[in-house]
Chains A and B, each alone.
Chain A
Amino acid sequence: MPTTLKYQEKDLKLVGTRPPRPDGVDKVTGRARFGADYNLPGQLIGKVLRSPHAHARIKSIDTAAALALPGVKAVVTRDDFAEMPDEMAAVGELMINFRDVTRNMMAREKALYDGHPVAAVAAVSESVARAALALIRVEYEVLPHVIDVVEAMQPGAPLLHEDQFTVGVKPKPERPSNIAKRLEFGRGDVAAGFAQAEVIVEREFNTKPVHQGYIEPQACLASYSADGQAELWTSTQGHFVFRAQCAKVLQMEVSKIRVTPTEIGGGFGGKNNIYNEALAIALSRKSNRPVKMVMTREEVFRGTGPTPGANVKVKLGCTRDGRITAAQAELNFQAGAFPGSPVNQASMCAFTRYDLANVQVVGNDVTVNRPKVAAYRAPGAPIAVFGVESVVDEMAKKLGIDPIEFRLKNAAKEGTQTYYGPRLGPIGYIQTLEAARAHAHYRAPLGPNQGRGVATGFWFNIGNETTCALNLQEDGTLTLMLGTIDVAGGSRAAMAMMVAEELGIEFERVRPVVGDTAALGFNFLTAGSRSTFASGMASVIAARQVIEKLRARVAKIREVPLEAVAWKDGQARPAEGGGAQFAPMTLAEIAKMAGKTGGTIAGHAEINAQGAGPGFGTHIVDVEVDRETGWIRILRYTVVQDVGKAIHPAYVEGQLQGGAAQGIGWALNEEYFYGDDGVLQNPGFLDYRMPVASDLPYIDTVIVEVPNPNHPYGVRGCGEVPIIAPMAAIANAVENAIGLRLFAQPFSPPRVLKAIEDAAAARD
């Protein structure tokens, strides 16, 4: 089985059009079932007791009173879960430190953040469950905590893990540290590069943690039966990964857990890890009844992973005519309670848009008393790029060069050597810059206190383990069984379109379904902008296999040689020059006879898709700054992005608009507020302020298509790139509007106002 099917340019009938998505009617009528919409007879409601302290040793947990409460059927604590060794273990092909997973799911020695689960109960109703939580006695020894990343890096900072020594430092440090890992990427000689530079810009940036903000809180329903098998319904980006994680922490065989993914109300990376799932299974095992666990919004904020907050330093050196001679960055990222921030990816994304001879990026992964970080759409990249694209903009302005022109002068292209290893293949960065420059937005007039900013983003995109099955039904229609979660509604349609295109039939004759974990072999998460690429690849492989089987079957039925049978426009027809004539057969005709001529016709694929193509985007934003209130209004926004091939353009546009909107929220208002006690003060949508409809204008999109040579239709993932550029683009636009550069995210009105006032005071 191939791991890559190469791109072939051809006339397309269906790919590139906009048919209605197959699950659309269910979603507009309320019929579609999300995580919290599932119920089983006899189910109990499960609730989690969470630490009110940011950092505390857990001395004892007394659950006797809770267990005695009428209506409480089970209670679990750390004692119900096995200790896991400190080692990377494979789950599917993800290597995870399960010592951390089991502790994040339920605290063992210490509570490491406000919201850290300490116990869980299952009871006959929500109100009884809540009453039970109040009866659990936990003895805490409160410890000093640390949340700010720079503070956490200092020697003498409160230490989360006494046995954590910074990895990546030689010789191995003697004292433990909150710095879990240090990494360094480099190329060439930055010192020499800076020596060559005629202009140098050096800046420091600080960002706060932000949450993925999916509107659907985590929800799951578990049912454990007496023979040791468990069924789990859950809202997830990866049911096979969840199955693997549950199996490991519960010490169950993988095949004893069957996970059915529900429709998912947003994930963006935040639903890549288990939270309540193993707790629900454990409670179900103990109580002998199904257990349903739905998080409140407050729990989502206190207990699930946001992004890192970070401290970023960027230094850039240039010649007077605008060529970058040296680029340097230091990225200090909060990992949360356990190591594993995306500082690695952020380091690799920071400068990759540019062709650079001398680069150095140092990254630090720092544990702090906050929930463990979870992925959020291009994890880490928006933070690094906020710094880098702001400095690039400042440099361009200093040199008197147009910001797009400056980037074109230094742009990465096919063959450019990256500083983290390989050369780039065919990419569309320059095309997006040129399209942005040519766009009417770039020339539109601006009024007082209005400004324009440009910034660009890059993301690798991934492939990974993917399987699917394509079955020809007896009436000639097909079912495409997919293993990748359809997070945004477009990918089910896109896969069906590619299959229908391959077979030369109508879109409506291919029914895509996302199967449960029993239906297919392992599929990696829907993340990394991979599903249209990898699941699409698998679908095409399966479709081509079906075509070969159809040809072979028709050859038998019509009693002609295989070479005489061609598949064209949805039918088996005599091949030109094939040497035999026969009456063509439609899918329906073949299917009707299939059972009696050898059995059902089906195709399948099990691949680890390689060859994902990186995506690049250029954003233009116009803002207006209200000098009296510090309010930034987004006047106009344009996203230009290379997506390789837009299988279903409406859903590609949706990804570009949605990602940009999240980036805008990240820039303008979203942040976690912690009190001096380390407790999160804004665990709700009122004070965690995400963009609403009246905050945003229309977001124009320009789709650039530089085909990915490693996909039959040229697909590059597109979902993550659009969130990367907005922060820097908006900072650049503000600078253009009022001559003030912002270095701390978010650019909320109080911060902007203070910056304006400070600048005025400095002038006076």
Chain B
Amino acid sequence: MARVVLSSALAPYTDGELELELDVTNVRQLFKALAERYPDLRDHLEAGIAVAIDNEIYQDALLQPIAPDSEVILITKIAGG
């Protein structure tokens, strides 16, 4: 089970729950599981979330694998100017 940590900025959409364990093997499955669990989070997931898998940041990488012992952190997306 991957350990999933959500950025504190996402607390309003998860009623304050910021840590959980999920049985997922890639980012797309992760988003699907989170959207089911936290409907308020759904709109934000694909639009504005990046993930750090074992501290490597991935943006728009839906098929990026997540290992059973991975730590996944959800952070808000970054753009630039």
Q: Which residues of A are in contact with B by a Cβ distance under 8 Å?
A: 3, 88, 90, 93-95, 168-170, 182-187, 212, 268-270, 272, 342, 344-345, 347-348, 374-379, 419-423, 425, 459-465, 527-530, 608, 610-612, 710, 717, 720
Contacts and interface: CB of A to CB of B under 8 A. Distances in A.
Interface string B1-41: 00001011101110100000000000000000000000000
Contacts of B8: 184-187, 419-420
A716 to B, nearest CB: 13
A95 B47 CA distance: 5
Contacts of A185: 7-9
The interface residues of chain B, by DSSP majority, are classed as mixed
A3 B7 contact: no
A88 B47 CA distance: 7
5 contacts: A93-B60, A185-B7, A378-B81, A420-B8, A423-B55
B60 A528 contact: no
Contact of B12 (A168, A462, A463): A168
A3 B75 contact: no
Given A608-B60, A610-B58, A379 B79 contact: yes
Given A95-B46, A95-B48, A420-B9, A345 B57 contact: no
A272 B81 contact: yes
Contact of A345 (B5, B46, B59, B78): B78
Contact of A425 (B43, B55, B61, B81): B55
B7 A170 contact: no
B25 to A, nearest CB: 17
A420 B76 contact: yes
B56 interface: yes
A406 B13 CA distance: 37
Instruction: Indicate the member of B8, B52, B74 with the most A CB atoms within 10 Å.
Output: B8
Contact of B81 (A168, A186, A379): A379
Contact of A461 (B5, B58, B64, B80): B80
Contacts of A187: 8
A344 B76 contact: yes
A419 B73 CA distance: 11
A425 B76 CA distance: 18
Contacts of A348: 75-76, 78
Contacts, number: 112
Contacts of A462: 59, 78-80
A421 B81 contact: no
A248 to B, nearest CB: 15
The residue among B11, B12, B46 with the most chain A CB atoms within 10 A of its own CB is B12
A617 B13 CA distance: 35
A268 B81 CA distance: 6
A184 to B, nearest CB: 6
Contacts of B81: 212, 268-270, 272, 342, 374-379, 527-528, 720
Given A169-B12, A184-B11, A611-B56, A345 B79 contact: yes
Contacts of B79: 94, 342, 345, 375, 379, 462, 527-528
A11 to B, nearest CB: 28
B60 A464 contact: yes
A94 B76 CA distance: 13
Contact of A422 (B48, B57, B59, B61): B57
Given A269-B80, A344-B9, A345-B79, 7 more contacts: A183-B9, A378-B81, A420-B9, A421-B74, A528-B81, A612-B57, A710-B56
Contacts of B76: 183, 344, 348, 420
Nearest to B48: A95
B18 to A, nearest CB: 10
Given A95-B47, A345-B78, A527-B79, A184 B59 contact: no
Contacts of A720: 80-81
B7 to A, nearest CB: 5
Contacts of B48: 95, 344
B48 to A, nearest CB: 7
B75 A421 contact: yes
> Which 7 pairs from chain A and chain B are nearest by CB?
A269-B81, A528-B80, A375-B81, A422-B52, A95-B47, A421-B75, A421-B73
Contact of A527 (B47, B57, B75, B80): B80
Interface string B42-78: 0100111000100111111100100000000111101
Given A3-B61, A421-B7, A464-B59, A529 B80 contact: yes
Contacts of A464: 59-60
Contacts of B9: 183-185, 344, 347, 420
**Which of B9, B56, B80 has the largest count of A CB atoms less than 10 A from its CB?**
B80
B11 A375 contact: no
A27 B61 CA distance: 38
Contacts of A608: 59-61
A184 B6 CA distance: 12
Nearest to A360: B8
A364 to B, nearest CB: 13
A425 B52 CA distance: 11
A378 B80 contact: yes
A530 B12 contact: no
B80 A459 contact: yes
